[in-house]
Amino acid sequence: MGLNIVEKIILNHLAVQTNGDHTIQLQPGQEIPLTIDQTLTQDATGTMAYLQFEAMGLERVKTKLSVSYVDHNTLQTSFENADDHLFLQTIAAKYGIYFSRPGNGICHQVHLERFGVPGMTLLGSDSHTPTAGGLGMLAIGAGGLDVAVAMAGGAFHLTMPQVVKVTLTGRLQPWVSAKDVILELLRRLSVKGGVGKIFEYAGEGVSSLTVPERATITNMGAELGATTSIFPSDEQTRLFLAAQNREDVWRPLTADPDATYAEEIWIDLSTLEPMVACPHSPDAVKKVTDLGELPLQQVAIGSCTNSSYTDLMKVAAILKGKTVHPSTNLIISPGSRQVVLMLAKNGALESLIAAGARLLENTCGPCIGMGQAPCSRGNSLRTFNRNFEGRSGTKDAGVYLASPEVAAASALTGKLTDPRTLDVYPEVNLPQKFIIDDSMIIPPVEDTAGITIRRGPNIKPLPTRESLPDLVEGVVLLKVGDNITTDHIMPAGAKILPLRSNIPAISEYVFSGIDPAFAARAKTAGGGLIIGGENYGQGSSREHAALAPMYLGVKAVIARSFARIHRSNLINFGILPLVFTVPQDYLGLNQDDQLRMVDIHQGLERGELVVENITQNYSFTARIQLTAREKEILRAGGLLNYTKQKSC
């Protein structure tokens, strides 16, 4: 029986071949220990990841390549972000890590351009790490602590997902883009449709998509809840790497003709139309033509999803000789310094500026609420990947997601516009050669003896948790509904992101958008439990959504289901991730109910705990299905404790 691409890469990266007496089989649900070739961090998650790596006591990272990017916290209204950047730069120098300086670009765009290698594994402390799947990498987002362990040479333990084949046929029509492909999948499957799955793209339609187009699709596969997404490494891949002067790392990688999959999805590219995701979820997808004349106060083009050279070249061609509508602000954040240099050289940058676009840094910027918040009750059309309520910085704004073509057309009219109503479609091809200037990337050095790590006053020590007790009790601090995101749990934005290396300070904002009094109540109660609905913890990989609640004394989360990365982060920080055995038991619980669980360690072995509701005088059961390794991590009080114990 043949192998698919995912199986080929995993089999080539098994950290061990056996689990006890059993040979590891790539069966869905089995824990797979993966060797990680490359890691990436960004500054919002990196400070904590490197503090965790530092605590392991190693002299140098053990991966083939690790890169520290600064692309999130670049708005420097006080000392915190600048101090963190110095910390990241000096710690990268100390431990053998490449450092991409502020202004060099968004981690996923730069990694695609300068570091990604087909067939390799990449673990990143950012949920959109699967962007590199557009190059044929097995690229997975994870919490910073998982990345720290990988940098230390440890395996990344992945619960083997189902591999879903997405067969693409036909060819995209003019004015329809790769963004519409992933929006169509979100329309069909929802933000929960990819949980426990990897999407592997195949079919004759694949060859018509360039690497930047493929990267748009794999990037936003994270919104499906997927573990990752991947394309073959083929002639398109070779052409992209050759243009980046990196053809030497190219290798062909395709599925065997008789490869098997858990399921198959078919998409005829020629039938797709321009799409838009409506507030407040990436899966609230409709055709642009179905929404009518929606007025737009803001249009934002960029993010790790749609900020490539080809994306912005199309935007420049649409805007050339025209002017942005007077009722609309157009904001553009290019994906990398390379993109800006290319646009400046060929004159496209002039077209953008002349049309009235506001050019921002080559960073994540507005996508994570770092500036450019929309006006109150305004509509903002963005080429980004997430439109969760309040993520933009304006809670009552309506944020819509669409392609660069739709965004550029709409910026000219001041309302949501089908780009097919414009003139001749601008054909944009990849250049034969990109401008290569890596002067903003600082490579590792061999002699690190004289390097001193710079630590600003905002960088606080790592909080720790004791080993797991056999009795857990506390009040229900908060009960929330379905699809609670990590933005809900631990908000981002210009006010909060600078506190990422200061857990006592950032913990004051846990659940602040839902319940501003949450942190104070948690501290008064001495901690407690959270009750959640379906898909609890969807969204970004930010481990602070587990770490800060742990600091506040949260001992367990009982939910109907969990998003993959957040579940792992809860375990990594010693918080019990419990699932209602009977989903309806969720309904009977109230905030402030006093809960108690006894015989925890026996319950971990059974895979089920009895939860006593002391307030209402009844009991129910909750499942906790763990691998042997996850049980050990919880018993130790978290992954850092577990790793230290293993190394002793």
- Report the pLDDT value the prediction gives residue 20, as an integer from 0 to 100: 60
Architecture of domain 275-421: 2-Layer Sandwich (3.30)
Q: Which residues of the chain have pLDDT under 50?
A: none
Same fold? 5-14+30-271, 275-421? yes
Give the CATH fold of the 5-14+30-271 domain. Answer: Aconitase; domain 3 (3.30.499)
Contacts of 622 (CB under 8 A, 6+ apart): 558, 578, 579, 580, 581, 585, 608, 609, 611
Q: What is residue 368's three-state secondary structure?
A: helix
Q: What is residue 505's three-state secondary structure?
A: helix
Q: In the structure encoding, which two tokens stand for residue 637, read together?
A: 């009080």
Kindly report the pTM of this predicted structure: 0.94
CA distance 216 to 308: 9
Nearest partner of 560 among 620, 615, 475, 507, judged by Cα: 620
Residue 412, φ and ψ in degrees, nearest 5 = -75, -30
How many Å is the maximal CA-CA distance in the chain? 72
Secondary structure (DSSP) of 533-561: -TTBTBS---THHHHHHHHTTEEEEEES-
Tell how strand 138-141 and strand 121-124 pair up.
Answer: parallel
How many H helices and E strands in the chain? 20, 28
Q: In the structure encoding, which two tokens stand for residue 254, read together?
A: 């395709």
- Report the pLDDT value the prediction gives residue 142, as an integer from 0 to 100: 95
Q: What is residue 354's three-state secondary structure?
A: helix
CB contact at 8 A, 15 and 152: no
575 CA to centre of own chain: 21
Cα angle at 208 between 203 and 214, to 5 degrees?
80
The domain spans of the chain are 5-14+30-271, 275-421, 472-647
pLDDT tens string 98-137: 999 999 999 999 999 999 999 999 999 999 999 999 999 9
Secondary structure (DSSP) of 590-638: -TT-EEEE--HHHHHHHTEEEEEETTTTEEEEEE----HHHHHHHHHTS
Signed CA dihedral, 20, 21, 23, 24: sign only: negative
- Report the pLDDT value the prediction gives residue 494, as an integer from 0 to 100: 85
- Report the pLDDT value the prediction gives residue 461, as an integer from 0 to 100: 87
DSSP conformational letter for 442: E
Tell how strand 31-34 and strand 156-159 pair up.
Answer: antiparallel
Secondary structure (DSSP) of 512-534: TTT-TTHHHHHHHHT-EEEEE-T
- Report the pLDDT value the prediction gives residue 370, as an integer from 0 to 100: 87
CATH code, 472-647: 3.20.19.10
Q: Assign residue 91 a region: left if phi > 0, alpha if psi is -120 to 50, beta otherwise?
A: alpha
Nearest partner of 302 among 246, 357, 345, judged by Cα: 357
